[in-house]
Amino acid sequence: MNIMNKLESIKNHDLTALENINNYIKIIDKNNSKINAFLDINEEEAIKTAENIDQKIKNGEQTGDLAGLVIAIKSNINVEDFKISAASKTLETYNGSFDATVIQRIKKEDGIIVGMTNMDEFAAGSSTETSYFGQTENPAAPGRIPGGSSGGSAAAIAAKMCDLSLGSDTGGSIRNPASHCGVIGFKPTYGLVSRQGLLDLAMSFDQIGPFANDTSGIALMMDAIAGFDERECTTIEWDVPQFKDINENSQNLLKGIKVGIVEQFMEVSDDHIVNIIEGSIDKMVEMGAELVELSFDHIDLCLPTYYLINYVEFFSATRKYDGRKYGYKIEDVCGEEVLRRIHMGSYISQKEYSGKYYKKALQARSLIRNEMKKLLRDVDVIAGPTVPKLPHKLGKSLDTMDMYAYDVLTVIANLAGIPAASMPSGEVKGIPVGLQIQAKPLEDEKIIHLMKVMESMD
């Protein structure tokens, strides 16, 4: 039963919201101590919400488009009265005092928020190992990292602890753990979803997006959260399509769809990953897609450009954690990676260097953005691997550059502001491999459509 079907059964009262939440609470209670997907859970409140929704349905009242679905939220998105720790010691005891715009919209659609998920500290990582509250286990590949930084949200979906979850994606933080955990993760076009209430990593890259086990769930969540927010200046005033209609009406065909394959995206990836991805691409061809070979010359520029901008914006964003208002001064208690980014950001943004590093990085970013636009001009989507290598084993320590290497294929979408998703493509020795699909800005629905078709072939 996919999420759309489940929503219908709840609305028909074939399944009650209370039964739905109770099932998940059972699984969470049983498995969370091992998986560590959730950092904060409020079962009582979730049950109360479920009962209210059931009552509404019983009374024949209108209910929202997420009615009774159980949702987990990454710990860097403000939800009133939950712990918004960003998995840091700095905000260890910080409680949300307001709802992020996405949360307001979820609540309006009668979604049930069950808890807050684990992540890399302040989202600065790709493994969820840097959480102050301990690492998260990969439910799909036990003993390995779940990826990150939204590792808890991906693991919660993979471990069937909720219907839907939200993550944030700055350089791949949704798609990377989706790939490693074998679930779907979607990063919308920059500006499609309001960031009001999202704790900053790098403001010009950050975007909130959903995780789910099937495309209908992604579509339902996107319908709830996407769209202009008059209280967030970077959101786009745009007539957002109904994603669930695209999902429903997708004729299971890719006829006339042009799929770009970028040579360099394959070259940087491990062979066994490329093999799996090629299998997915073959399926697209079977369904009528036309392949277009593309070349992207700036792949070496992507990581340095991304990280320089990330450092500077993160440095700026963390100045409020000065030890006066929130628990601890960030530099005094943070992990190695967060400290590295703050120090680098502070160093690069100095007056004497700004021309040398930061401005150059901004120039490189426009170059990459333009190049991606050019590549996308003649195709509907670009398909390829999400992550170039498989997740490492928990406990294995990687040096910084090896860690950053996970991100080479995902940062491009953030640099260019384009939509991108990861969906399960296959497995290498039981370890999930994700297929990344990227599209032009505001053509998010093309990704939903393609995923829906691909999903129907399984």
- Which residue number, 2 or 346, has a Cβ lying nearer to other proteins? 346
- Which residue number, 14 or 230, has a Cβ lying nearer to other proteins? 230
Q: Nearest to residue 162, comparing CAs of 204, 201, 212, 225?
A: 212
**For this structure, is 89 an active site residue?**
no
- Which residue number, 329 or 373, has a Cβ lying nearer to other proteins? 329
- Out of 127, 165, 173, 194, the active site residue is 173
Smallest distance from the beta carbon of 227 to other proteins, in angstroms?
16
Tell me the H-state helices in 38-174: 43-58, 101-108, 151-158
Q: Nearest to residue 175, comparing CAs of 392, 383, 349?
A: 383
Smallest distance from the beta carbon of 98 to other proteins, in angstroms?
5
Smallest distance from the beta carbon of 136 to other proteins, in angstroms?
22
- Which residue number, 48 or 340, has a Cβ lying nearer to other proteins? 340
- Which residue number, 312 or 450, has a Cβ lying nearer to other proteins? 312
Residue type, position 68, single letter: G
Smallest distance from the beta carbon of 41 to other proteins, in angstroms?
20
Token readout for 245 is 């209609």
Q: What is the DSSP string of 374-440?
A: HHHHT-SEEEEESSSSPPPBTT----HHHHHHTTTTTHHHHHHT--EEEEEEEEETTEEEEEEEEE-
**Residue spans of beta strands (DSSP E) within 95-238:** 112-117, 164-169, 184-187, 207-212
| Per-residue DSSP letter, 14 | S
SS3 166: strand
- Which residue number, 155 or 201, has a Cβ lying nearer to other proteins? 201
**For this structure, is 6 an active site residue?**
no
State how far the Cα of 303 lies from the Cα of 405, in Å rounded to an integer.
8
Smallest distance from the beta carbon of 362 to other proteins, in angstroms?
9
Smallest distance from the beta carbon of 85 to other proteins, in angstroms?
10
Contacting residues toward other proteins, per CB under 8 A? 76-78, 84, 86, 91, 94, 97-98, 100, 195-200, 202-204, 230-234, 312-313, 315-316, 318-320, 322, 324-326, 346, 349-351, 354, 358
Pairing of strands 164-169, 207-212: antiparallel
What are 40's strand-pairing partners? Answer: 116
SS3 39: strand
- Out of 88, 131, 149, 250, the active site residue is 149
**For this structure, is 165 an active site residue?**
no
State how far the Cα of 430 lies from the Cα of 183, in Å rounded to an integer.
14
Dihedral-angle region of residue 203 (phi above 0 means left; psi in -120 to 50 means alpha; beta otherwise): alpha
- Which residue number, 22 or 316, has a Cβ lying nearer to other proteins? 316
Dihedral-angle region of residue 275 (phi above 0 means left; psi in -120 to 50 means alpha; beta otherwise): alpha
Pairing of strands 70-74, 164-169: parallel
Smallest distance from the beta carbon of 313 to other proteins, in angstroms?
6
- Out of 6, 11, 74, 244, the active site residue is 74
CB neighbours of residue 65 within 10 Å: 17
Residues designated as active site: 74, 149, 173
